[in-house]
């Protein structure tokens, strides 16, 4: 069985904002030790201080998870400081929107390197240590987009499909290791800053399509999974409905969901093409994105646009 969090050492990647920040602060109230990483030193140091205040002994390293040697060095530092690693949360992620041919190759590649290869590097650092001590929990962050498709967000969807498949492969290889677990988290849209951080080559500002999950709900799920790991944890009823529809009726899914996604995601305000924080980190470094509070009006408009897109898709001739 996994160790109780009160005795556990947890590594969280991409800890400075979004789900990683919320999970780190939640875990800090219980975990014995935390090792945190993100690309920006200042917000990471501020988070580490908050985790220390919450009760957890903490170390942090500013690094890019696309750098395998840096991820390995974080693992070595955590073991040197705390003596072991019990839970590794592969959370770091970036997103880029736009038609495939408009997204620069460098941006497409960096999304894959961060979201997929970053988790591969985390697994390479964590699993040998789990094997040496005979236990451990690897938590990989995928998405509802790990099982369904949407146009104009190809690099993210490719990466999250890869994460889900990677997790399944690892779970199969570790089937004989009773106390080593691989868990995949697959939430629908979550209220974090990732949408305003994203690379954007659509020509317009982007927004999530409701319903948008509270980031604390997913952070709590990570906490639960660290002690009681599940093979896959899905968050959000609409996300589960999309998965079922995509699997059972892919043609209907495309007619309903693809137009809905495009029309719901793009706002009315023009935006110049930009890589966002795909290539380098920038703020805001917060857990919440404000979509469920100060941006509710934007979400309502997104929902109405998405609903109109679904109707438009249904009225199209079947292809």
Catalytic (active-site) positions: 156
Across 81-145, the runs of DSSP E, i.e. the strands, are 87-90, 96-97, 136-141
CB atoms near residue 178 (< 10 Å): 10
State the Cα–Cα distance between residues 85 and 261, nearest whole angstrom.
40
State the Cα–Cα distance between residues 276 and 294, nearest whole angstrom.
22
How many residues appear in the chain?
319
- Bridge partners, 266 (sequence order): 206
State the Cα–Cα distance between residues 163 and 17, nearest whole angstrom.
20
In the numeric block, which tokens belong to residue 182? 């691989």
State the Cα–Cα distance between residues 299 and 265, nearest whole angstrom.
10
Alpha helices for 174-205 (secondary structure H) = 194-197
Locate tokens 């906490």: which residue?
A: 223
Instruction: Please give the distance of CA 254 from its chain centroid, rounded to a whole number.
Output: 24
Nearest to 245 by CA among 196, 170, 314: 314
Nearest to 266 by CA among 202, 198, 188, 195: 202
In the numeric block, which tokens belong to residue 197? 């951080």
Across 119-203, the runs of DSSP E, i.e. the strands, are 136-141, 180-187, 199-200
Locate tokens 């292809």: which residue?
A: 319
166 within 8 A of 257, measured Cβ to Cβ: no
- Bridge partners, 58 (sequence order): 34
Give buried/exposed letters for 37-49 (b at 16+ CB in 10 A, else e): bbbbeebbeebbe
């Amino acid at each position: 069985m996994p160790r109780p969090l009160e005795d556990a050492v947890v590594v969280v990647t991409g800890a400075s904002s979004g789900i990683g920040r919320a999970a780190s602060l939640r875990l800090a109230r219980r975990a014995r030790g935390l090792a945190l990483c993100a690309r920006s030193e200042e917000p990471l140091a501020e988070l580490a201080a908050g985790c220390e205040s919450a009760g957890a002994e903490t170390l942090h390293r500013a690094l890019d998870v696309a750098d395998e040697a840096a991820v390995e060095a974080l693992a070595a530092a955590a073991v040197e400081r705390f003596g072991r690693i019990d839970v590794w949360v592969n959370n770091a992620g970036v997103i880029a929107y736009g038609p495939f041919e408009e997204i620069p190759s460098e941006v497409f590649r960096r999304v894959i390197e961060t979201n997929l290869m970053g988790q591969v590097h985390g697994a390479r650092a964590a699993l040998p240590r789990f094997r040496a001590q005979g236990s451990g929990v690897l938590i990989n962050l995928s998405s509802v987009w790990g099982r369904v498709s949407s146009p104009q967000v190809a690099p993210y969807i490719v990466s999250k499909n890869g994460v889900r498949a990677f997790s399944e492969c690892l779970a199969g290889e570790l089937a004989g290791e009773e106390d080593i677990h691989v868990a995949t988290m697959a939430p629908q849209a979550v209220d974090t800053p990732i949408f305003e951080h994203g690379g954007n080559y659509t020509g317009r500002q982007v927004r999530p399509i409701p319903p948008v999950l509270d980031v604390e709900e997913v952070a709590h799920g990570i906490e639960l999974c660290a002690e009681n790991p599940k093979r896959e944890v899905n968050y959000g009823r609409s996300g589960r409905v999309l998965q079922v529809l995509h699997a059972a009726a892919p043609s209907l899914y495309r007619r309903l969901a693809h137009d809905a996604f495009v029309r719901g995601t793009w706002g009315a305000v023009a935006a110049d093409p930009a890589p966002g924080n795909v290539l380098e980190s920038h703020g805001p470094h917060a857990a919440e994105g404000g979509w469920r509070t100060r941006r509710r009006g934007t979400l309502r408009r997104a929902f109405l646009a998405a609903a109109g897109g679904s109707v438009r898709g249904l009225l199209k001739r079947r292809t």
